[in-house]
Each structure stands twice: as structure tokens, then as C-alpha cells.
Structure 1
Amino acid sequence: MTALLQALVLVLLFRIAASRFNITSLPGFPGDLPFRLETGYIGVGDSDNVQLFYYFIESEGTPENAPLMLWLSGGPGCSGFSALAYEIGPLSFDYAHSFDNKPQLKLNPYSWTKVANIIFIDAPVGTGFSYTNSWEEYPTLNDTISSAQTYEFLRKWLVDHPSFLYNPLYVGGDSYAGKVVPIIVQEISNGNEDGLEPQMNLKGYVLGNPVTDQERDENSRVLFAYLKALIDHGLYQSTKRNCKGEYVNVDPNNALCVYDLERVNECIEDINLQQILEPKCNPQSPKPIDRKWHPQEFSEKDPIDLLLPSSQLVSMPWCRATNYILSQIWANDKTIQSALHVVQGSIKEWVRCNDSLTSSYVQDVSSTVGYHQNLTTKGYRVLIYSGDHDMSIPYVGTTTWIESLNLTLDSQWNPWFVNAQIAGYKVKYTLGKYELTYATVKGAGHTAPEFNPKECFAMISRWFAAYPL
């Protein structure tokens, strides 16, 4: 059966509720876009009640041969536009020329779309421009529902875009997407083995600073703090001894451990967890004099992302979060929404990361290490990378769960280079046809391509081409 005929059959089978539009220009960008941008919705769930919004950008190379990658942002609840505009997409904001609440756009010379076709999705529902006609059907969202919705989205998207059915397929994401990406990859693998149509040409997956096993991730922060000289040797040894290596689920009656962790927290509480070298400048109330340690404080969430009054911004040091203000202004402009073909009235307000969704989202999968373990038998290629100055998901925690997979060491820990300078370090593991490359990005924070775009572009270009990093 030809791909076109197969697609026609599947369209009837799925009853696809899809709309898509080619975008040739965008307000804020001078002239026509020098790449193909498509936006649209795919309906999923019962009666296609959930409408997931996406941005699809064809590779600027040879789209018919380039890999196809579905990319998920973290959160949960962060829009795919965040990754598009601040990390790996072809557009970025021109801060130097954005005045009077009129954000300007420019090209990103290190866009991953130079080597891949990328679908940036607003998932789960409630993220970005994605919406549902009946929230009563989704009183709570969780990792399982989110993964199922995204898997259904991808199946229907490929049916609606049959010319990409045979491109090498990868699923990627960073931060909290580390939870759902392995589940989605497992769903695709199971679907292929069960003969579900369309058969997907799945080759592997890509994860950056991924949330994987939250207890293990957070527990590694004490070791990370010691390795980065945020706490001294004596405090590290005392904390390790008194807490017996357990820094998250602490017995409150263990007075020595609690005391040590209070001292640790005193050392790191004013550190920006997502990039320890950058200012921590989210608004905070004054510290109480008798502040005590508490696991929730030690497991600090991501810095809040607010539109601050300009008077506050003037008195604060530069903060990366202020870069995100332009996306809030841009995406809420009705002219922009019209250009993107957003359904009018479908959302009240666009936010880069939906905090209200995060507060109601149920994290029903505590660890995805088991999914990674299952996938080692499938012969996939896997790239996992960490900005090595991220304390929210420290590289030392990521290396620990990777080593627990009991893979064969293929190449030892060595530096990789960009322009004759060390860009990070890498190690490669194999198991039969399966291969996993782990790389650090030197000096980068939580969303590594946002901090080190040139190095991360070199990394993904080489990896897609099966070259050594």
C-alpha cells in the first residue's frame, strides 16, 4: 500500500480533527520567514475534545531526509514556544531593538532546525495555546494522561503529514519532559510491535537535564553543592554521615541530620538553582530570623516567572527571567494570535509556563528509570545531556541513574570540543544495538541550549549525523 493510500485509510480510521496553516510572515520579524513554519491543532481524547496546538518547522537543510523530532518543554505546563524562541528554534527575541511593548524577532544562527524537522507541542492540555472544550473531563492531569495524549497527537500528526512517515523519528525534551518522553517512546515502541498504524520509524530519543527519579535527582544536590564549593568538605562529610546519604525524606527526629541540612540550606538558599553562576532575583519576602530547614525549602521549585513592574526591575540585577517578559507580551498580542491562527477565545491568557496547571498536575510516575531500562533492549540511539551548572537536576544525579542501567562502557569519559575549546565531557554506553551517549555542557544551566547555543548545536548536529561528539 502506498504511503498516500495508507494515509487516506488512516484519516478515515482516526477521524482526525486537525487544522493547519502555513505561516510565511510574523509581526516583529522583518520580511518573510526564511523557513517553513506551520501551526495547527490536533484533536485527541474522547470526541477529540482536547485540541493540542503545535508549531512545526521544516529543516532548513533537506527536510525529506532530515530527522523528524517531536519536542516537549518542561514544567509541566511550559509552552513549546519557550523551546522554540529561547532554546533550539530558528527565532529568538531581539532584545536590543524591542521597545514600547513591541517585541522584535531575529534569526537564531544555532537553530536545531538546520539539521532536523521539529514539532514543538503545547502539551499537556492547558499549556500554551492548547485547550479543551470541557475541563470537566479532565479534573486532574498526570504523567500517564499527558503521555497518552501526546502519543495520540503524534500518531494523528503523522497520518496528516504522510510525507514524514519514513523520516527517522526522535522524541526529545528537557526538564520535566524527562518524565513523559520515555513513557511516550515506550508507547511508540509497543504500538509498532503490536502492528498499530501508522508504523513509526522510531530511532531514539534526546533528553536535556531530565527529571527522571525526583528523589534521586533532588538527593544529589548536596554532593553537587560540595563539588561546586558551595559547602565545604567538613559540612559535606558531616551531612553525609549524619543523614546516611538521605537528604530528602529526612527523619525529623534525627537532630544531627536536620542541623547539618539547615547549614547546607543556609549556604545554598540564595543560589539560582537553574544556573548557579547567575543572579537569583525572583521576588522574595524578607528572611525570618529563626528560619528552619524543611524538605520543601531544600527542594526549591523553579524560579517564578512573573511580569514584574518596571520599578522593581530597575532595582534588581539582570535576571534571565526578564527575557521571558517579551514572550508574554508577544504571544498575548491579538495580531500575533491571528497570524498564528489561534482559535479566538480558546484561552484567557497565554503564559510561558502555566503555574496553575502545575499546581493541579498529579505526578503519578515517581521514576522513569524503569522505562529507560526497558528501552535498552530496543536498539535505539539515546542522547542525554546536562548543563553542568544546573543544581535543580544535577549532573551527578543523572550519571547515577544512567550507571544503574548496567550498560557496557563503549568509550570512557573524555572532553568534546567546539572551536578547539572544551565544550563539555562525554561518555558512551552500549548494549547490543542500543547506544546511549551522555554529555555535559560546560558552564550551561538547566536548559543547556539557552545558555550555550553554539556548543549544543554542534552536539546535536554531530549526534544526528552519527559522528563522535
Structure 2
Amino acid sequence: MAYSAQATKKCFLLPLVNVIVIVIMIVLCCSSWQLVSARKRIDNLPGFNGPLPFSLETGYLEVNEEKGVEFFYYFVESEKNPEEDPLLLWLIGGPGCSSLSGLVYEIGPLGYDLQNYVDDLPSLYYKTDSWTQVSNVIFVDSPVGTGFSYSRTMEGFQTSDTEAAHQLLSFLYKWLEEHPKFKSNPLYIGGSSYAGMIIPVLTLEIATAKESQGAQFNLKGYLAGNPMTDIHGFDKNAKVPFFHGMALISDELYESTKQSCSGNYVNPSNIHCAKYLDAVDEVTKDVNVEQILEPQCEAFPLRKDCRNSLYALSEFWANNATVRDALGIRKGTIVDWKLCTDPPYYTYDIQSAVSYHRTITDKGYPALIYSGDHDSVAPYIGTQAWIRSLNFSIVDDWRPWYVGGQVAGFTRRYSNNLTFATVKGAGHAAPEYKPNECLAMVERWLSGAPL
């Protein structure tokens, strides 16, 4: 599933529509929405047969009192040992994609049954290869305007990369105060796609608060999957060599493009470079950018062989009144829930997160950076390039890692406790495509074992 600003799955709204929806929402918030309890323990969910086989809590936390910004979250306790297992804050990309994506598509214990869907309310099933087998996971809707998060003022919707990181820090402070039994659990920050711009920034803020203010964060490290890190410097520049390496463009087109563009495929410096880039776009236009082996298809009509149809089910489910009551959603705060929206007042004020990776790993915090190797949104080639730019020495050189006796990907470990891994055959959100392999990967890394 694509969680980058350029992702094809993303449910873009025209700016005017966004403004209208926000204005309606603020009017409703200020006049008629009913405040419900900020936290709710959920034992049953519409669409799931019987009681949930895991502990689920939903709730709201105010992360900016002056502007009335409220973040919504889903919290699933570890299904093994919640008292001692790590606490993982999981962020989604976009920016503007709901954390429900993490719960039902990526690393959570629920999934939608697309194959048996007919109409009305989608059915949910339990997934045994969830990361909640080994960790407590908080899925949070960030930035404001994402999922069920909202603001009571128009000012509150004016946010940015750095503001999102600040508000997530505030969220963690308050969440741990409300859940003190998890303060001593090892804390990790993780996520995928555009969240790669936020994860190292937030992790550094947590580390700084811990060092300078004595904040009670038991921070142990961070992880990022197919992360957007330096979009114009590394990420987008990796697409042309990725397409060539995956046999999507010819040798001749690649060599001509490489020579005329001098390795810069983002801002063409001459007419020949622009012409060859247009040729690359033309020949790859019908390729699924999130997983190049899967079909490029529309969500409607609901095709059972189309991943976008699976994404559509979340909007049917989250806009159902019974579901909203079960989740404890405050009435009138979100008129029309979208899996992904395009935040109309968002400022992209972090151009590169590379320096944050250096700073946070210099402080001794381990990092796991992994890439589904069939993703062209944030190609593994670009991720390898920015990691090389850090000039860390290689501790454990390139080798395969295995699950069930089969090669699950390849990995390399660097100094500063930075581990890079590919997930063989996976797309943009690797756990969505290879859940069993990714669970094995994260379980080993969290335990300190080699992949």
C-alpha cells in the first residue's frame, strides 16, 4: 500500500473540497458534536465474528490545547507478554493516511475479507502474523486531519513535518501518563513510507527530552520501512536505475537517460534529459508503482484480484455508524472518513532526514531500515544510497536472511547499530505483502539477534 505523497492509491481530494469539508467539520465540532470518553476498551467490533482475541483500546489525546488538536489512536496490547514486551508507536505515511492502515493492512491483527465480500459491512478476520505477537503497538492518526484526528479550530489544521513530530511527542507524554504501566517497556518508534521523514525527527526529540529534561521515555531504537528520507536527493533519483535493474526499461534507454541527465533524474538540466525521462515515464506508466509485479487496477468495481479493492473496504467500514459507535468516535468530528487524504494546509519543511539518522545513531540508538524490493515509490536503491552517504563502516557484509529455510531477503549491518534489510518480493509496505517474513525480521531485531 502506498503511503507517499505521490502514491497512486492515495485518495486525493481537491483543495476546495478539503476546505469545505474542514469548514463543515469545525462548525459541527463547535456546535453539535458530543464529547465521549477519551478512552474506550473494545471487546467486539462490527464485522468480526465473536469477541476480539486480543486487547484493543481506542481514544483521543489533545496534542495542542490552544488550537484544539485531538489525535485519535488504536492501541493493541502484545498478545505474548504486554508487561515486558516493547511498546511500538507506529506511524503511517502520506502524509494523510490513517493509522487504520497499519491495523488492518500492515502490522496489525485484523484484516478485511475481500474474497467473500458482497455488500454492506465488510467482514474482519484475525491475523496470526501480526507484530502484536511480539510488541504492544499504538497506531496513531497523524498529522491532524488524518483518519479520525481533528481540530476544533481552523488554525489547528495548519501543520507541517516538524509540527507533526512535536505533536507526536506531546501525544507520547500524555499517553504514557494515562498508561503508566508501559513507561518501563522498551520504546520504539516505527512506520513506513512518508513517515520516514518524521520517525528520525521524533526519535531525536524523544532522546533529547530524555537527556535534557529527564523525561521518562525508555527509548531503545527506531525502525522504518521503505522510508521516504530525502525525496529529491535520493528517493526519486533511484527510480530510473530501479526500473532498469528490474528490466522495465531497456539498456539503451537507461544508458541514454543516465548520460544526458548525469544521474539527476528529478530536475532535468537539458532538453535531452527531459526527453528521455518522458520516454521512461511512457514505457512504465502502466506499472503498479507500489508492487511492480501486481496488476495496476482501480478499486471500483470491486475486483477480487485488485489490492485497491481491499483498501476501499476500509472506507465502507469506517463510515458505518455502528462501527463508529463501537470505536468511540466523537459525533460530528469527521463527516466523511478517508483512508488517505491530501492535507490542504500541510508544509513540507523537512527536505532531508539523513542528518537525523546520523545524529540519533551517534547517540547509540539502534536502527532497522528495511525495503520491500519490488517497490518503486521508495526504491531500495535510493535507501542504500543515503545509508552509504553516512559513511558508516560495514560490520556484517551483504548476506541472505532466512525464514523457514528460504531466503526472505538480504541484509547488511553497519556501525552505529544500523541494520539494512530487503524483503524479497515485497512492495511498498513490506509487512502487507510478506507478513510472516516481516514478523520474523522484527522479532529478531527487537531481541538483538542477527536477522
The answer to whether TM tops 0.5 is yes
2:220 alignment partner, one of 203, 210, 224: 203
CA distance in 2: counterparts of 1:100 and 1:374, whole angstroms: 50
Q: 1:55 aligns with which of 62, 74, 95?
A: 74
Equivalent residue number for residue 320 of structure 1 = 307
| CA drift at 1:97 | 3.2
Name which of 172, 176, 195 aligns with 1:177.
Answer: 195
Deviation at 1:230, TM superposition (A): 0.9
Give distance in 1, aligned partners of 2:156 and 2:40. 28
Indicate the residue corresponding to 2:432 in structure 1. Answer: 450
Tell me the residue number matched to 1:375.
360
Distance 1:139 1:455, change over 3 A: closer
Q: Is the alpha carbon distance of 1:275 and 1:56 closer, same or farther for their aligned partners in structure 2, counting shifts above 3 Å?
A: same
After TM superposition, give the deviation of residue 104 of structure 1 in Å.
0.7
Query: Contact 2:394 / 2:414 at 8 angstroms: preserved in 1?
Result: yes
Measure the CA separation in 2 of the matches of 1:48 and 1:249.
Answer: 38
Aligned-pair RMSD on alpha carbons?
A: 1.5
> Structure 1 residue 99: deviation in Å?
2.5
- 1:87 is displaced (CA, Å) by 1.0
Identity %: 50
Distance 1:228 1:100 in 2: 38
Residue 324 of structure 2: aligned partner = 337
Normalising by structure 1, what TM-score? 0.86
Taking the aligned partners of 2:282 and 2:116, their CA distance within structure 1 comes to 40
Corresponding residue for residue 291 of structure 1 = none
TM-score, with structure 2 as normaliser:
0.89
Q: After superposition, what is the alpha-carbon deviation per residue over 1:259-303, rounded to whole angstroms, capped at 9, x for unaligned?
A: 222221222111111111111224xxxxxxxxxxxxxxxxxxxxx
- Asked if the contact 2:144/2:157 (under 8 Å) is kept, the reply is no
d(CA) in 2 for partners of 1:187 and 1:48?
22
The within-5 A match list for 1:188-337 is 188-197=206-215, 199-215=216-232, 216-251=234-269, 254-282=270-298, 308=300, 310=301, 313=302, 318-337=305-324
**Residue type of the partner of 1:335?**
T
- Matched letter for residue 132 of structure 1: S
SS of the aligned residue for 1:176 comes to helix
Structure 2 residue aligned with 1:441: 423
Corresponding residue for residue 92 of structure 1: 111
Q: Encode CA deviations 1:68-93: one digit per residue, 9 max, x unaligned.
A: 00000111011111110011101111
Residue of structure 2 equivalent to 1:425: 410
Partner residue in 2 for 1:412: 397
CA contact (8 A) 1:274 1:392 kept: yes
C-alpha change, 1:51 and 1:18, in structure 2 (3 Å) is farther
- Kept in 1, the 8 Å contact 2:85–2:186? The answer is yes
Structure 2 residue runs of 5 or longer lacking an equivalent are 1-35
CA-to-aligned-CA distance 1:224-257 (integer Å, 9 cap, x gap): 0111111122221121111111111112xx2221
Q: In the alignment, which residue of structure 2 is the partner of 1:293?
A: none
Higher relative contact order (CA 8 A, sep 6+): 2
1:387 aligns with 2:366: no
If you compute each CA radius of gyration, which structure gives the higher value, 1 or 2? 1
What does residue 140 of structure 1 align with? 158
**1:18 Cα deviation after fit:** 7.9
SS of 1:376's equivalent in the other structure is helix
| C-alpha separation in 1, matches of 2:402 and 2:281 | 35
Determine if contact 2:290/2:428 at 8 Å carries over to the other structure.
Answer: yes
Contact 1:18 1:43 in 2 (8 A): no
Residue 130 of structure 2: aligned partner = 111
Aligned-partner Cα distance in 1 for 2:253–2:150: 49
Query: In the comparison of the two structures, how many residue pairs are matched?
Result: 415
- In 1, Cα distance between equivalents of 2:307 and 2:314: 13
Alignment gaps of 5+ in structure 1: 1-16, 283-306
Asked whether 1:398 is paired with 2:415, we answer no
